[in-house]
Amino acid sequence: MRHTIALLLTASALVLGSAPAGAAATVPTKVAGFSTASQTAAPGATVRLAVKVTVKGRASARRVVSLQRHVGGRWVRADRARTTKYGRVVLTHRLGTKAGAATKLRVRVAAKGRLRAVNTRVRTVTVRGPWTPDARSKEILSRVNQARSTARSCGSESFAARGPVRLESRLSAAARRHAVDMATHDFFSHTGSNGSDLSDRVDAQGYDWSRLGENIAAGQDSAKQVVDAWLASPGHCRNIMGPFTELGVGYATGDTRYGTYWVQDFGTPR
């Protein structure tokens, strides 16, 4: 019943309301890939937003797209770029360093001829304070790195020894939220109760990744039991021995069928 995934590249699509436009702009513009879920980020981190602009289901090229932040009661530009021929654009904004500071962001696509302008809804990004991993996460990290330090076979596939991974706060936040979701809603799946997948959950935390993997487990009573169970499963073992550099750990309990829920989110930053 436990599964593994090594790389996810999907992004949820969100169709958003149009901004006021002139009379000549009559064709609706849509934006996909922008999440309104609140996120936290490290002090001074760069928020990276990748979206796709479409018109009537087709990519809208050469559109002027701005990332805006809300300052003093008005929206000001934080970044601006044009979409590619595929309708895609990447926008960035560097956060401040004050813990607890919240920044409201939205994406605006300018009108172009008969194509309407559009504003997305708002995403709030909050600068988090210093992060200290809990003892359970540290134990799982230690056991994972001990496993990675030795060559091993995961089913029919052999792996050389790997270097250690390190705990990462955004991956840990994504893993923890998924563990709590499973414990709260009494299910066991890589798909969240809201339909989210691994990349959705990690993207919502502002983690800019090139590779992702996730292990989940339920019912184990200790870090040793759950890591041993993952290593005994070829797919989960492959993630542990995979070419990742960072790890997030989530754990939650509930009055449910399994009682305990464990999540490992592996990542390699871009």
Contact between residue 224 and residue 57 where contact means Cβ atoms under 8 Å apart:
no
At residue 3, does pLDDT exceed 70?
no
Mean of the per-residue pLDDT values for the chain?
91
- The Cα 166–Cα 248 span in angstroms is 9
Q: What pLDDT, on the 0 to 100 scale, is given for residue 24?
A: 63
Residue 23: CB atoms within 10 Å: 5
For 21-77, the pLDDT digits (tens) are 445 679 999 999 999 988 888 888 899 999 999 999 999 999 999 999 999 999 999
Q: Does residue 9 register a pLDDT over 80?
A: no
Task: Map residue 169 onto helix, strand or coil.
Answer: helix
The 3-state DSSP class for residue 191 equals coil
Superfamily of domain 135-269: CAP (3.40.33.10)
Return the domain boundaries, the chain. 29-127, 135-269
Q: What six digits make up the tokens of 184?
A: 């709260």
Kindly report, residue by residue over 139-171, the tens digit of the pLDDT: 999 999 999 999 999 999 999 999 999 999 999
Could you identify the residue written with the tokens 């302008």?
A: 117
261 bridge partner residues: 218, 252
Q: Considering only the top CATH level, what class is 29-127?
A: mainly beta
